[in-house]
Structure 1
């Protein structure tokens, strides 16, 4: 499906969870003076205006980053990315995960991101035009399969589908198994929504059985509005970098204050 546009949800509490952990992982991985690969399968437009009609309509950013920005000290990598994005694009701008990666990675690193939606891809390419990022207009998993194992072999892949296609819950475990086999040293991070329908539960059972050493972290939060089905956010990380365990414990405490 090509109907999903993340602007309606940008900066929500799930984004705060996902992007803060992504920033922590990339910050740690770039401390070593060795190049790395970053691959993202479902990129969106990379840069969002939280003052846009679509964002204001859902109130998700108001319940998300606009409410909890003070959770992160100025030296936290997520806070640094937010600050740079605001300086360059305005106080109500918000960085999607491709921009988080572009701002934290180095010229020696390799960045590949995919987006299939034509308008979203055009916005993605424009937002990332100042950075050395390859923006693919194709299915994200097709791109990932074509690139793995990447060069450099050290690196991280973010899998962040919209789950608008209900078969995602059954196909993703197979895709992750194939990708992790081809790239056994890569950090593979899968984001998933926690829904009142519990649609994610069978998928996580399969992933956990196949990857027992992966890190699984979930946070819960009130629905953004009455009847909204998403009540939490999850990250499933194969080959988690050092320091991620501490970061998730800290986030757990923060989300419990909501």
Structure 2
């Protein structure tokens, strides 16, 4: 969706959930000295300034990472990625998932990042340039379908759309079915918002029926402000790495404390 700007929402509680799960999976994958592929279909700009006018307007980061960073110990892949990005770009920055992946992956790994929005794509190019990273100004699903199965075959895909197009709830499971058939060993992660009217439920039932061994992990949290529709965050993970379900239980306890 070309109108969507994540700068208003970077570092919120949904980002904390999504990025903690992502970082944990990447941390597990990099324990083995084998290269892997990382694919992201809706990458955004990659780096956000939490002192920007957009972030200050919503205050979502103040209720998110700024409030809960102490949930994560020094050995947490999420905190390691956060600290690595801030040491390079400044203490008031927050990494989007492309920079979290870059912080945790190695020069021998391959990253493929798609972002269609012209300004966001340009910013992503500045933030995420690296020899092992290819950035596409292209529809993310077109990119992913053209790459799968990637080389190396071992790896992870993150699908993180804006969900501003209502038909996404119908079309995205179909895209995932094709990707999972092409890349049957790949970890495929889908993030979705939990809104007060719960439009995700029919989609989730379709996904769970098609992929019964997948991991569904959801957390709830208070709305960011009066009238705000998002009350939680969900991750649907095909081929989840070992231990990710247990890690999700630790997040359950943290979010329950809010």
Structure 2: which 5+ residue stretches go unaligned?
none
Match of residue 107 from structure 1: 107
Whether 1:21 and 2:37 are equivalent positions in the alignment is no
- The SS at the match of 1:212 is coil
Counterparts of 2:238 and 2:203, CA distance in 1 = 15
**For 2:35, what is the secondary structure of its paired residue?**
coil
Residue number in structure 1 paired with 2:91: 91
Measured against aligned partners, the alpha-carbon deviations of 1:86-105 in whole angstroms (never above 9, x if no partner) come to 21111110000000001110
Superposition deviation, residue 33 in structure 1: 1.0
| Correspondence for 2:128 | 128
For the residues of structure 2 that align with 1:93 and 1:40, how far apart are their CA atoms? 21
State the 1:225 CA deviation. 0.5
Once the two structures are TM-superposed, the CA of residue 75 in structure 1 deviates from its matched residue by 1.4
Equivalent in the alignment of 2:60:
60
Could you give the per-residue CA deviations for residues 4-44 of structure 1, whole angstroms, max 9, x where no partner exists? 01000000000000001100000100111111100000000
Q: Is residue 2:142 matched to residue 1:174? A: no
Partner of 2:257: 257
State how far apart, in whole Å, the 2-side matches of 1:81 and 1:185 are: 25
The CA deviation string for residues 210-255 of structure 1, in whole angstroms up to 9 with x for no partner, is: 0000000000000000000000000000000012011100000000
Residue 191 of structure 2 contacts residue 234 of structure 2 at CA under 8 Å; is this kept in 1? yes
1:206 CA displacement = 0.4
* CA displacement 1:42-80 (0-9 Å, x = unmatched): 000000000000011011101100000000001111111
Residues in 2 aligned to 1:131 and 1:57: alpha-carbon distance in whole angstroms: 35
Is residue 3 of structure 1 aligned with residue 17 of structure 2?
Answer: no
The aligned counterpart of 2:234 is 234
In 1, Cα distance between the equivalents of 2:84 and 2:105? 14
Q: Identify the residue that residue 210 of structure 1 maps to in structure 2.
A: 210
C-alpha separation between the residues in 1 aligned to 2:70 and 2:196? 28
Report how far residue 131 of structure 1 moved.
5.3
Q: Give the Å deviation of 1:85.
A: 1.5
Higher mean displacement: 78-87 or 212-221: 78-87
Deviation at 1:132, TM superposition (A): 2.4
Quote the RMSD (CA, aligned, Å): 0.7
Which position in structure 2 is the counterpart of 1:77?
A: 77
1:195 maps onto 2:225 in alignment: no
CA contact (8 A) 1:221 1:232 kept: yes
Whether the aligned pair in 2 keeps the contact of 1:180 and 1:188 (CA below 8 Å) is yes
TM-score, length basis structure 1: 0.99
